[in-house]
Amino acid sequence: RKPLSLPRLADMHARGEKISMLTAYDATFAAMADAAGVECLLVGDSLGMVCQGLHSTVGVTLDTMRYHTDSVSRGLRRVQGTAWLIADLPFGSYQESREQALRSATVLMQAGAHMVKLEGGGWTAETVRFLVERGIPVCAHLGLTPQTVHALGGYRVQGRDSEAAAVLRRHALDLQDAGAAMLVLEMVPAALAASLTRELTHCATIGIGAGQATAGQVLVMHDMLGINLGKMPKFVRNFMAEGGGIAEALHAYVRAVKDGSFPDDRLHAW
Ligand code: KIV
Ligand code: NA
């Protein structure tokens, strides 16, 4: 298989082929997901909960993100993996200034990331443009943005009323304009995610709890393997419940994203 790249992802987007993404935090699971054909691996700051036992992603540091990005990147290299590797800029590592964001992104890119992800809209567009102009591909993230959980008042659906939906849409268009090649939409109504996906022709929407119309899907790997310390979110499907081992579950996830059978808007969406 040829390595994934920005042009290949843009081509998939243009052709309407669904993009599959999963989180990965270590070398072994990264290699397994790559072998299953997952196109994008996200070293998500959800590792704060999954690996570190934290209550939120707010406590995850840049040094921890660097450690896990290094591990995932080495795991991919060992198996000559082809996945596109995205790493989250953690809370506090990009909010201060565009220069701070560039320094933090550099740490993750030098650990092997191909793209960085950051949360929020509005002020972030300027930061995204600054990074993209300097050769760092960026994935944006709107809707439920877990780093701001304390400001949002909990892990709940975002963009429900027309006013909130209009703000989200404005932010999404600004982020595309700033050069974000991907946009994670987390916990937004399926209808809103669908209309944003139609409007954003140069930025691939990746949904999580955002319905089936997005250009791609992402899940926390541990969630889709049915191993989760907390309450399983409604938008998750447990691919281990269908029998077989981890490799089979990862393959089944890729197949279900590609053929549109996951997510099922009657079960996994708002
Ligand atoms: O950290 C993470 O796992 C994420 C995904 C849920 C999009 O940001
Ligand atoms: Na994240």
Cα-Cα-Cα-Cα dihedral of 134, 137, 139, 140, to 10°? 20
- How sure is the predictor about 84, in pLDDT bands with cuts at 50, 70 and 90? very high
Q: Is 186 a catalytic residue?
A: yes
Does residue 184 line the site of ligand 1, with CB under 6 A? yes
pLDDT digits 0-9 by tens, 48-75 = 999 999 999 999 999 999 999 999 999 9
Mean pLDDT (whole number) for 168-176 = 98
Percent of the chain with pLDDT over 90: 97
Q: Which atom of ligand 1 is nearest to the CA of 117?
A: 8
Tell me which of 25, 42, 69 to substitute to probe ligand 1's pocket, judged by most ligand atoms within 8 Å of the beta carbon: 42
Q: Name the closest ligand to CA 50.
A: 1
Give the per-residue SS3 of 127-168.
HHHHHHHCCCCEEEEEECCHHHHHHHCCCCCCCCCHHHHHHH
For residue 172, the model assigns a pLDDT of 98
Nearest CA to ligand 1 atom 1: 44
For residue 230, the model assigns a pLDDT of 84
Per-residue pLDDT for 168 more than 90? yes
- The answer to whether 257 and 20 have CB atoms below 8 angstroms apart is yes
pLDDT digits 0-9 by tens, 12-52 = 999 999 999 999 999 999 999 999 999 999 999 999 999 99
User: How far apart are alpha carbons 119 and 116 in whole angstroms?
Assistant: 10
Does residue 120 line the site of ligand 1, with CB under 6 A? no
pTM score: 0.98
pLDDT digits 0-9 by tens, 127-160 = 999 999 999 999 999 999 999 999 999 999 999 9
Q: Which ipTM was obtained for this model?
A: 0.99
Ligand 2 center–CA 81 separation, angstroms? 22
Of the two residues 124 and 230, the one the predictor is more confident about is 124
- What is the identity of the amino acid at 32? M
For residue 37, the model assigns a pLDDT of 98
117, containing H or E segment: strand 115-119
Mean pLDDT (whole number) for 75-103 = 98
User: How far apart are alpha carbons 130 and 202 in whole angstroms?
Assistant: 18
Which region, left, alpha or beta, applies to residue 234 given φ > 0 means left and ψ of -120 to 50 means alpha?
Answer: alpha
The environment of the single-atom ion ligand 2, i.e. residues with CB closer than 5 A, is 44-45, 88
Per-residue pLDDT for 195 more than 90? yes
Binding residues for Mg(2+): 45, 88, 119
Strands 204-208 and 19-23: unpaired
- How sure is the predictor about 229, in pLDDT bands with cuts at 50, 70 and 90? confident
- How sure is the predictor about 1, in pLDDT bands with cuts at 50, 70 and 90? confident
As a CATH number, domain 6-268 is 3.20.20.60
